Amino acid sequence: MSFRRIVQISSLTLFFFLLIAAAYSAAYYIPADAFLRLDPLIMGGAFFAARTFSAAFIPVILLLVVSVVLGRVFCGYICPMGTTLDASDYLIGAPKGNSQSLPNLRPIKYYLAIFLFGAAILGVSLIFIASPLALITRLFGLIFLPVLELFSEEALLLVQPVADKLDWQALVFTQLKTTRFATQFFIMISFILLFASALFSPRFWCRYLCPSGAVMALFSKKPFIGRRVSEECDDCGLCQKACPMAAIPDNPIVTSHEECIACR
């Protein structure tokens, strides 16, 4: 397993752990909203709406500094939305490389970011309709977590008769309640459409729609440490075929660093 996959799985596991901690009001050393604090769209929207600086903005400032140095590593390694989309793209069998690139759609994410920040300046908070961290929190919190609770409840019902015979009273009287949310169906349909977009191109959301990715792209145009091509390149085109973001145009030596997620 590659280093990137290990980091992605670890990050997604931590994200889900913090989500469960928040759902059950458990206190840990890491803030339950740690990932949300790394979303430049959320933090930028909060800054423009409140017009005041908070210590909560420091993590995203550090992230943007990292983007200047390393490019969009957050998108390629840390973002739970990106990891989830990588998994769904693999399961769906999304096409790879530049063959499915739709360059005319790339500006959408910038327009969406401008619109959301503009609304925040005017005092209207619409950030959570398009923030990737907010959206993926809804997916895991409103869909995956209740499903996990449902399976856990059914497993508990199967185990309790055995626990009763063994006199494990704590387990016998344990009760789990499956959470229900009014917006579950809406969120499920939204993500079905998002996952299905992989039929057009991998990471469709990240390429064309993600406003947080647009913010990080502005800080990643010329990273100090980024993709480099040696003189030994024979123009085979394998990098172009493998790139999930279509960040390598016709010339494989050239890199659109603002689109590159440093997946190597």
Angstrom distance (rounded) from CA 219 to CA 17 = 30
Q: Measuring CA to CA, how many Å separate 235 from each of 28, 103, 244, 257, 262?
A: 51, 22, 18, 19, 20
**CA distances (Å), origin 2, targets 13, 47, 170, 261, 264:** 17, 37, 42, 15, 10
Instruction: Give the pLDDT of residue 49.
Output: 84
pLDDT greater than 60 at residue 99: no
Q: What is the pLDDT of residues 221-239, one digit of tens each?
A: 999 998 888 888 888 888 8
- Range in 25-39, 43-57, 169-183, 243-257 with the lowest mean pLDDT: 169-183
Q: Of 84, 107, 116, 39, nearest to 197 (Cα)?
A: 84
pLDDT confidence of residue 170: 62
* Confidence label for 100 from pLDDT (cuts 50, 70 and 90): low
Q: What is the mean pLDDT of residues 107-131?
A: 92
- pLDDT confidence band for 201 (50 / 70 / 90): confident
Across 130-134, 242-246, 257-261, least confident range: 242-246
Give the pLDDT of residue 64: 95
**Cα–Cα distance, 240 to 233 (Å, whole number):** 13
Task: Check residue 55 and give its pLDDT.
Answer: 87
Average pLDDT (62-71) is 95
d(CA 55, CA 49): 16
Tens of pLDDT, residues 147-189: 777 777 666 667 767 666 666 666 656 666 666 666 778 888 8
Give yes or no for residue 45 having a pLDDT over 70: yes
Assess whether pLDDT exceeds 70 at residue 136: yes
| Measured distance CA(45)–CA(60) in Å, rounded | 12
Whole-number average pLDDT of the chain: 85
Share of residues in the chain with pLDDT > 70 (%): 87
- Specify whether the backbone of 85 is left (phi greater than 0), alpha (psi in -120 to 50) or beta: alpha
CA angle 253, 226, 74 (to 5 degrees): 130
The pLDDT of residue 93: 80
pTM: 0.84
Which of 56-65, 107-116, 181-190, 242-251 is least confident?
181-190
212 or 55: which carries more pLDDT confidence? 212
pLDDT of residue 175: 63
Return the pLDDT at 21: 84
Q: Is the pLDDT of residue 7 over 60?
A: yes
Residue 174 confidence (pLDDT)? 63
